[in-house]
Structure 1
């Protein structure tokens, strides 16, 4: 770890699932003197040691605001990401890709020495599902039919070019698996199942089976554990990419045990057809193309994060997913616009 005290850190996307955990982790560290959280909508929430400002990265006039906020900053943690609308990928491209490019360019103009970027397992090309999995050298071409993967992969190429043009900036790319915590459950329910699906329906007794689909093997991590890795990336003199996930890998059997459900073999085409019909009818926001990508994601080897960041998750993948299910059923949330909860009766 760095011994430098008094670091000033800016976090974009600071009010979301990962952002709220990262600003908390940073604000609690004695080596960090100031944390500025940037978000599209300024929250009412007050966190000790954290200041808030509103910046919409999709706007063409956002570079001016970014330049003001990044002056004399030691590190930028770029987390801002928009998952919807999945029916209009131009909107997410403007926010996620063009917005990220604006952040990278502002980092270079301001001379910020460290940039930590939130990439994803979704940036990886399809790969093997066996443990220990692929390391950070695995190709990052994504699954091109899914907007999320396409955007994450494109930004990997942007950062390749950025690092060549700005070798003085220490660039770190975090590539986590699926991130869950109780307080973000309501937001994630809205993102993937839709705002009109009550969380109370996600009770084990109402989920009688888990489909046994080829390729259904998920790597899950508690968001607070991911935040500790982000903090380590800010404070440690490292570069490059880091895979982040907890053990064990969750397949149909592990998911069924967690939900006290049965495993039932279901043809992938049946699930995809049903999801596609629901998505076209705007009944669910999760795209069938993202479903295709999930079944092709490689299993990650996280040895590099363990070795160079000194990082180990404190919770298992089952504990992280259990926290999400508990939060969904209870309508958990936080006092920020993305994470506001709703208590279902």
Structure 2
């Protein structure tokens, strides 16, 4: 198998490349990004190649021989520069993703894997527990809106090209050594939203990478929820193996976070805090039964790994 990965230098990409390199069936990995990704050390069956460049310049000949494309590249809003331009971010996430998919199909790629997000479900105060993949998407902020739009574009493309398999993965917040700084700060800190009793899920980055690798090697199409278990409240996470935590009024978080977002992309999209009043519990039965995937790192183990 010959695999191409967009956004290979990103948080998930850095965990995915070694996971793909360990798969005997994968002979070549093409890592695509604007910045040079860290490639796995040589020695496995796969030949790894990094190609640095803008996806807007991707051509079918760049993907010659590739049979599967894993699309991780995605822009987050925040910080300085064009990341505050909603129209630009939308174009980068939605229009460019559609362009990349069409380029891949023109190159002969017959399996497209997209890393979406559990944020497509909201969450909302009335979100059911657990959420199955058949639950309607109800995005609550721009990042989730773009994920839903890319999912819709990908499904439309699959209808145009039934010869091409499509896999969509919906993980919750992915934590680990390469995770977004805001997620690491929340997971390692003692602060939590006051009244934060809504259950949510996280996922260790190696488990996310394993799910992507399973979807690649099994060529299983469909939409799949991913998540560590059990679901815990943010209060329980903050106080895990600790005597105390610090509750912060949700109104204060919502008031201050946009300012931090203006100063640094490390703060994350302000829309993320809107979902703190709703549960996000995923039913991962389909991933277990069809992908043969089960998370190895529990919620407690995720927190303990991050704090050591």
- Give the shorter-chain TM-score range: 0.7 to 0.9
Q: Distance in 2 between matches of 1:215 and 1:147?
A: 25
- Asked if 1:316 is matched to 2:260, the reply is no
Aligned to 1:76: 69
Matched, 1:157 2:149: no
Please state whether the residue corresponding to 1:18 is helix, strand or coil: helix
How do 1:180-199 residues align onto structure 2 when only pairs under 5 Å count? 180-182=175-177, 184-185=178-179, 188-189=180-181, 192=182
Counterpart in the other structure of 1:120: 117
Choose the corresponding residue for 1:211, options 193, 202, 205: 193
Note the C-alpha offset of 1:11: 0.8
Distance in 2, Cα, partners of 1:203 & 1:267: 18
2:107 paired residue among 110, 122, 144: 110
Q: Does 1:142 align with 2:124?
A: no
Aligned to 2:256: 274
* Cα contact 2:288–2:294 (8 A) shared by 1: yes
Match of residue 170 from structure 1: 165
1:150 to partner: Cα distance: 1.2
Other-structure match for 2:86: 89
Structure 2 vs 1, CA of residues 52 and 258 (structure 1 numbering), >3 Å: closer, same or farther? same
Corresponding residue pairs, total: 299
TM-score normalised by L of structure 1: 0.78
After TM superposition, the structure 1 stretch with the greater mean CA deviation from structure 2, 207-216 or 106-115, is: 207-216
Q: Which moved more, 1:254-263 or 1:162-171?
A: 254-263
Residue 164 of structure 1, CA deviation: 1.1
CA shift for structure 1 position 259? 6.5
Candidates 191, 202, 212, aligned match of 1:230: 212
Which residue in the other structure is 1:301 paired with? 283
TM-score with structure 2 setting the length: 0.86
Residues 157-188 of structure 1: per-residue CA shift (max 9 Å, x gap): 11221111111100000101111112x14xx2
- The CA deviation at 1:319 is 1.9
Residues 260-315 of structure 1 deviation map (CA, whole Å, 9 limit, x = unaligned): 25356654223211223443566963232221035446311000000111111111
Q: Distance in 1 between matches of 2:187 and 2:10?
A: 25
- What's the offset of the Cα at 1:141? 3.5
Kindly indicate whether the alpha-carbon contact (under 8 Å) linking 2:31 and 2:37 is maintained by their aligned counterparts in 1: no
Whether contact under 8 Å (2:77, 2:269) holds in the other structure is: no
Query: Which residue does 1:249 correspond to in 2?
Result: 231
Gaps of 5+ in 1: 1-6, 194-198, 327-345
C-alpha spacing 1:209/1:72, structure 2 compared with 1 (3 Å): closer
Over the aligned positions, Cα root-mean-square deviation in angstroms equals 2.7
Q: For 1:25, what is the secondary structure of its paired residue?
A: helix
- Separation in 1 of the partners of 2:276 and 2:103? 33
In 2, Cα distance between the equivalents of 1:129 and 1:229?
25
SS of the residue 2:113 aligns to: strand
